[in-house]
């Protein structure tokens, strides 16, 4: 399975999200972080991610006669490269978007199911904005977003930090018009 296929499942994508920030976690710890998914399913997807090189074994120890593995995310393998994105078919993009949307919905529902969920206090946001942009303005905005987000992607998991899921979604809803509309004649 290639990286596109490995990351193309909501549970595997949720495992990748849970592992970000330099964490090393056991599969049991991952199950606790994704409580709405069965343990067997989490174990199966961790095995696939490990076999595909997205997760690696950080260490192993014997616990009550069994070997417990702690995994870490291979950052260099946990994203889709630009060439793969460019060569993806429209159906590939459709499936990837459906996976991202399903993952986002599952993560949000898991958040709301927590005992002390407080969207207002946690500054939860899910606004959508329709903006008009030229190609140059679009590229400038993407660059500005990357400049704001990229440095924070390297933040390690620490006791004073909460993990947030940030999902920028951007696509054109209309074709640009060749000339301004002048009304009826």
- Return mean pLDDT, the chain: 91
Q: How far apart are CA 66 and CA 80, in angstroms?
A: 35
- pLDDT value for 176: 82
- pLDDT value for 183: 57
**Whats the size of the chain, residue-wise?**
185
Q: Residue 182 pLDDT more than 80?
A: no
Percent of the chain surpassing pLDDT 90: 77
Q: Is 180 exposed, middle or buried (0-12, 13-18, 19+ CB in 10 A)?
A: exposed
Q: How far apart are CA 185 and CA 172, in angstroms?
A: 29
Q: How far apart are CA 1 and CA 7, in angstroms?
A: 10
The residue that leads in pLDDT, 51 or 181, is 51
Span 117-150, pLDDT tens digits? 999 999 999 999 999 999 999 999 999 999 999 9
Residue 33 pLDDT grade (very low, low, confident, very high; cuts 50, 70, 90): very high
Span 155-174, pLDDT tens digits? 998 999 999 999 999 889 88
- pLDDT value for 179: 56
Q: How far apart are CA 98 and CA 104, in angstroms?
A: 10
Q: Which of 27, 57, 20 is nearest to 43 (CA)?
A: 27
Pairing assessment for the beta strands 66-73 and 55-63 based on DSSP bridges: antiparallel
Q: What is the pTM of this model?
A: 0.83
Residue 181 pLDDT grade (very low, low, confident, very high; cuts 50, 70, 90): low
- pLDDT value for 175: 85
Tokens of 180: 């301004």
The secondary structure of the chain, three-state, reads CCHHHHCCCHHHHHHHHHHCCCCEEEHHHHHHHCCCCCHHHHHHHHHHHHHCCCEEEEEEEEECCEEEEEEEECHHHCCCCHHHHHHCCHHHHHHHHHHHHHHHHHHHHHHHCCCCCCCCCCCCCCCCCCCCCCHHHHHHHHHHHHHHHHHHHCCCCCCCCCCCCCCCCCCCCCCCCCCCCCCCC
């Amino acid at each position: 399975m290639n990286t596109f296929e490995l990351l193309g499942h909501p549970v595997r994508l949720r495992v990748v999200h849970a592992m970000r920030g330099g964490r090393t976690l056991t599969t049991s710890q991952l199950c606790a972080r994704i409580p709405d998914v069965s343990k067997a399913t989490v174990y199966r997807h961790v095995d696939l991610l490990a076999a595909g090189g997205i997760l690696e074994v950080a260490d192993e120890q014997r616990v009550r006669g069994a070997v417990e593995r702690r995994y870490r995310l291979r950052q260099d393998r946990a994203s889709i490269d630009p060439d793969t994105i460019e060569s993806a078919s429209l159906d590939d993009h459709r499936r990837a978007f459906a996976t991202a949307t399903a993952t986002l919905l599952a993560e949000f529902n898991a958040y709301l199911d927590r005992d002390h969920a407080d969207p207002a206090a946690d500054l939860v946001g899910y606004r959508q904005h329709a903006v008009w942009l030229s190609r140059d303005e679009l590229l400038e905005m993407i660059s500005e977003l990357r400049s704001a987000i990229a440095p924070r992607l390297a933040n390690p998991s620490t006791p004073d930090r909460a993990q947030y899921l940030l999902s920028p979604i951007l696509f054109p809803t209309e074709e640009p018009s060749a000339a301004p509309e002048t009304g009826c004649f």
